[in-house]
Chains A and B, each alone.
Chain A
């Protein structure tokens, strides 16, 4: 028995040693091997302007399942559904073959699109179920700047910790045109989908589990504009319910600004900054504190959604009279409203209501504005601004913008936000 154990442990030790020896070798199967084995399953995805019969947008994609199922980024092919009839999608293989691509399904929150091509080889990628380990060597592929298929080596640096939307931090250079291409591990399995870069080798990938989820939905029919609108609206509503619902259920972290207590870093994915404005020639000064989510959801070239931004600005003066001071605040309030993007096709104009509100003895003048998404039923962008009427020489201006939320969640969030502003000298 002992002998057996000994032999078993010897074998196990030998296997482990050979694996350890084999691992660098397989990692070093490196870019060259991976490129050679992957290149036939990676496509350039092109959006062709039908009127001019010329390419309008370029990205990458990869074959993920039988029957010509191709994954790319939603933002690469968004023109298909945002401007129906204006574009068609085509693929271009490394061998120079081209063909039509049909849009089957999307995951707008994670910027993924599932497409189908009629005549593609059956060979396809598989998704790796286990998460990579920190520092694991990864290989990103795509067509940067229309220069041809390129492979980029880099490392896995975990999931973004301060992000509203799950993203892999990939240390490697992803460039425009590689969007929608796969990032593979040393065994050629898909780890993530190239989606964005912050420059200087800081790049972001959509985790591959969302590719599996999209595939599992089993979409089989081309998506028309109406189905697209309903799908996106449903996904956006569910997404806002996820994060706004969570925020509404928890107490907002507070921060002090002068004698006021105000909502501060309300979630770890909210990034906050401070700024003091004190110029000697000015007869007032102000201290600002602003927070926002760093990411948003791409809907079209003009419109993005799913972001939170808020700021507090404490205004004070020793030299201005009360009329003069509140005239200054009035001008600031009217000039400060945020730009939300979009165009006439995607959103209506804002409509506003204003009035005086009171909470815990603190009176504020507030204005609340909403606009409707024309394509996506039940979704709104909102802007809220409140100025305290508490003192003749000091006032707190707080603004809040939420994009792509339901009317009920927006009202609940704005109420909670204003109620959390308190005078605590």
Chain B
């Protein structure tokens, strides 16, 4: 039994994202691979010969793949072409443009995820994320209102946000329908509201932190990190739901897009900050006095040190490139 389990294996056709598209169980009998219909494993690829290769169990109990005189041959992951390939344990190779993978029958697979609990968790996320997101926006709007009837203003912000995230999610659901044959509107709603909730919480915490520890000057960097992380989170979620991309592919796509978008936003911020302004841009954070952690400093020491740092920083500012030469 033990030798059999070693000899038994599975040959899989894997797509670019690592998903298995086709699979044949190798019981010990030889299997021919090619485009012709008389093969045991038929590959629908123009670069695969009609009778491309054959995999068979040799006398030494090892599977061996042999080229049957194909045009494009057998290629390893490193691109090297081989006529013959002994297969011992997991092995990947290319025939034409097809990525094939051999796995022994005893290759481990993870335990199944419990069906009910997962569904409940998803349902909870799908319901809670939009609710918490709207609550965060309502709180934010309420904080910005200093007149009576502030609740009405908060309500109008909540409604506007709700409309926006519903439209956004519907667009992503349609994209998912096109590319992955899945609508999953509640999932997309959870993704966008979860992302916005994250952004709101991150911004509040970084502002409170900036106040408490007196690092207002570093706040733009925290904002940049927050924007970038929010973009990555939202894009990753949408890509996972609306495409056939695997985790890694979706993550790479999301990080790449997230960095691009956040970079664009950040460049705009830098351009804005460097634009000439007749007003100081002070970026002042304030919160309840009890939240202060950093110790206060004597007034004259603060101003002396600030002046010292600022005069050095200002001396480093090169004159503006457009300033005319001041000689008559």
Contact = CB atoms under 8 A, between A and B. Distances in A.
A350 B280 contact: yes
Nearest to B284: A333
Contact of A411 (B148, B214, B307): B307
B80 interface: no
Given A83-B324, A326-B288, A334 B283 contact: yes
Nearest to B277: A349
Interface in A302-328: 320, 322-324, 326-328
A202 interface: no
B78 interface: no
A419 B300 contact: yes
Interface in A264-293: 281-284
Given A84-B326, A355-B302, A323 B280 contact: no
A284 B146 contact: yes
Contacts of B285: 330
Interface in A377-420: 380, 383, 385, 387, 389-392, 407-408, 410-412, 414-415, 418-419
A390 B326 CA distance: 50
Given A344-B320, A354-B217, A356-B297, A367 B307 contact: no
Interface in A325-377: 326-331, 333-334, 337-345, 348-359, 363-372, 374-375
Contact of B311 (A83, A338, A343, A370): A370
B310 A357 contact: no
Given A283-B148, A324-B143, A326-B287, A372 B294 contact: no
A225 interface: yes
A85 interface: yes
A366 B297 CA distance: 11
A331 B289 contact: no
A281 B297 contact: no
B136 to A, nearest CB: 14
Contact of B319 (A339, A352, A374): A374
Nearest to A365: B286
B120 interface: no
A342 B278 contact: yes
A350 B279 contact: yes
Contacts of A383: 280, 282
Contacts of A418: 299, 303
A415 B301 CA distance: 9
Contacts of A353: 217, 305-306, 309-310
B147 interface: yes
A372 B147 contact: no
B114 interface: no
Contact of A375 (B142, B302, B326): B326
A359 B298 contact: yes
A411 B306 contact: yes
A356 B310 contact: no
B52 to A, nearest CB: 67
Given A389-B292, A419-B299, A369 B282 contact: yes
Given A352-B283, A408-B307, A389 B146 contact: no
A304 to B, nearest CB: 12
Given A225-B326, A350-B277, A383-B280, A372 B288 contact: no
A407 B311 contact: yes
A380 B276 CA distance: 16
A367 B281 CA distance: 11
B21 interface: no
Given A84-B324, A334-B283, A380-B311, 18 more contacts: A282-B147, A323-B287, A324-B143, A327-B144, A349-B273, A349-B317, A350-B279, A351-B314, A352-B283, A356-B296, A358-B296, A359-B298, A359-B299, A366-B302, A368-B306, A408-B307, A414-B303, A418-B303
Closest 9 pairs between A and B when the two form their complex, measured CB to CB: A358-B296, A350-B280, A369-B280, A356-B296, A330-B286, A353-B306, A389-B289, A411-B307, A84-B328
Interface of A: 83-85, 224-226, 229, 281-284, 320, 322-324, 326-331, 333-334, 337-345, 348-359, 363-372, 374-375, 380, 383, 385, 387, 389-392, 407-408, 410-412, 414-415, 418-419
Interface of B: 142-144, 146-150, 211, 214, 216-217, 273-274, 276-290, 292, 294-300, 302-307, 309-311, 313-315, 317, 319-320, 322-324, 326-328
